[in-house]
Chain A
Amino acid sequence: MSAVTATTINAAGMEFRELNDRIAQNAEKDLVLRDVLGQRFLAAGRKSGGLEIHGVPGNALGAYLNGAEITVRGNAQDATGDTMNAGRVIIHGSSGDATGYAMRGGEIYIKGRVGHRAGIHMKAYKTNIPHLVVGGGAGSFLGEYQAGGVILLLGLGCENEFPVGYYCGTGMHGGKIYIRTAHPPKGLPPHVRFRPADGEDSAVIRPLVKRWCALFGVPEDDIYTQPFQVLEPDTEGADVQHYTANR
Chain B
Amino acid sequence: MIHDYIYPEFEVARDYDKCVVCRACERQCANEAHVYKEKYDKMTCINENCVNCHRCVTICPTHALKIVRSGDTYKRNANWQNWIINELVRQAGSGAALLSSMGTPEPYPVYWDKLLINASQVTNPSIDPLREPMEVRMRLGATPGTKPQRGADGRLKTQLPPSLNLSVPIMFSAMSYGSISYNAHSSLAQAAQQLGIYYNTGEGGLHRDFEQYGGNTIVQVASGRFGVHQGYLDMGAAIEIKMGQGAKPGIGGHLPGKKIVEDISRTRMIPEGTDAISPAPHHDIYSIEDLRQLVYSLKEATRYTKPVIVKIAAVHNIAAIASGIARSGADIIAIDGFRGGTGAAPTRIRNSVGIPIELALAAVDSRLREEGIRHRVGLVAGGSIRNSADVVKAIALGADAVYIATGALLALGCHLCRSCHSGKCNWGIATQRPDLVKRLNPEIGAQRLVNLVTAWEREIKEMMGGMGINAIEALRGNRAMLRGVGLNETELNILGVKHAGA
Q: Could you tell me which A residues sit within 8 Å of B by CB distance?
A: 16-17, 20, 24, 40-41, 44-45, 47, 59-60, 63-64, 66, 78-79, 82-83, 85, 97-98, 101-102, 104, 117, 120-121, 123-125, 128, 141, 144-145, 147-148, 171, 173-174, 233, 238, 241-247
Contact = CB atoms under 8 A, between A and B. Distances in A.
A120 B300 contact: no
Contact of B269 (A66, A79, A101, A104): A104
A44 B297 contact: yes
Given A244-B94, A246-B100, A45 B301 contact: yes
A147 B268 CA distance: 10
A66 to B, nearest CB: 4
Contacts of A20: 300
Contacts of B302: 45
Interface string B222-264: 0111101111010000000000000000000000000000000
Given A40-B300, A174-B274, A246-B100, 19 more contacts: A41-B300, A44-B300, A45-B302, A60-B293, A63-B301, A64-B230, A102-B224, A102-B228, A121-B223, A123-B226, A123-B270, A145-B277, A148-B270, A173-B274, A174-B270, A244-B91, A244-B97, A246-B98, A247-B86
A236 to B, nearest CB: 13
A109 B276 CA distance: 28
A247 B296 contact: no
B301 A40 contact: no
A243 B99 contact: yes
Given A63-B301, A147-B271, A247-B83, A45 B346 contact: no
Contacts of A124: 269
B347 A246 contact: yes
Nearest to B256: A243
Contacts, number: 139
Contacts of B91: 244
B320 to A, nearest CB: 25
Interface of B: 9, 83, 86-87, 90-91, 93-100, 105, 223-226, 228-231, 233, 265-266, 268-271, 274-277, 279, 283-284, 293, 296-297, 300-303, 346-347, 418-419, 421-422
A91 to B, nearest CB: 18
A147 B98 contact: no
A211 B9 CA distance: 63
A161 B253 CA distance: 36
Contacts of B266: 125
A144 B230 CA distance: 23
* Interface of A: prevailing SS: loop
B interface, over-half SS: mixed
A244 B293 contact: no
A102 B271 contact: no
A243 B346 contact: yes
Nearest to A233: B274
A97 B293 CA distance: 14
Given A173-B271, A243-B96, A247-B418, A41 B284 contact: no
A70 to B, nearest CB: 14
A166 B104 CA distance: 38
A141 B281 CA distance: 14
Contacts of A173: 270-271, 274-275, 277
From A40, A120, A123, A148, name the one whose CB has the most chain B CB atoms within 10 angstroms.
Answer: A123
A101 B284 contact: yes
A156 to B, nearest CB: 26
A246 B99 contact: yes
A169 B86 CA distance: 37
A45 B233 contact: yes
B224 A66 contact: no
Contacts of B296: 16, 40-41
Closest 5 A-B residue pairs measured CB to CB?
A102-B225, A45-B301, A123-B269, A246-B98, A243-B99
A130 to B, nearest CB: 9
B253 to A, nearest CB: 12
A56 B120 CA distance: 64
B89 to A, nearest CB: 11
A63 B228 CA distance: 11
Nearest to A58: B293
Given A66-B230, A104-B229, A247-B418, A82 B269 contact: no
5 contacts: A41-B300, A64-B297, A125-B265, A244-B94, A244-B99
Contact of A245 (B105, B270, B271, B421): B421
B297 A41 contact: yes
Q: Considering residues B83, B86, B94, B297, which has the most beta carbons from chain A within 10 angstroms of its beta carbon?
A: B297
B283 A101 contact: yes
A242 B96 contact: yes
Nearest to B418: A247
A147 B233 contact: no
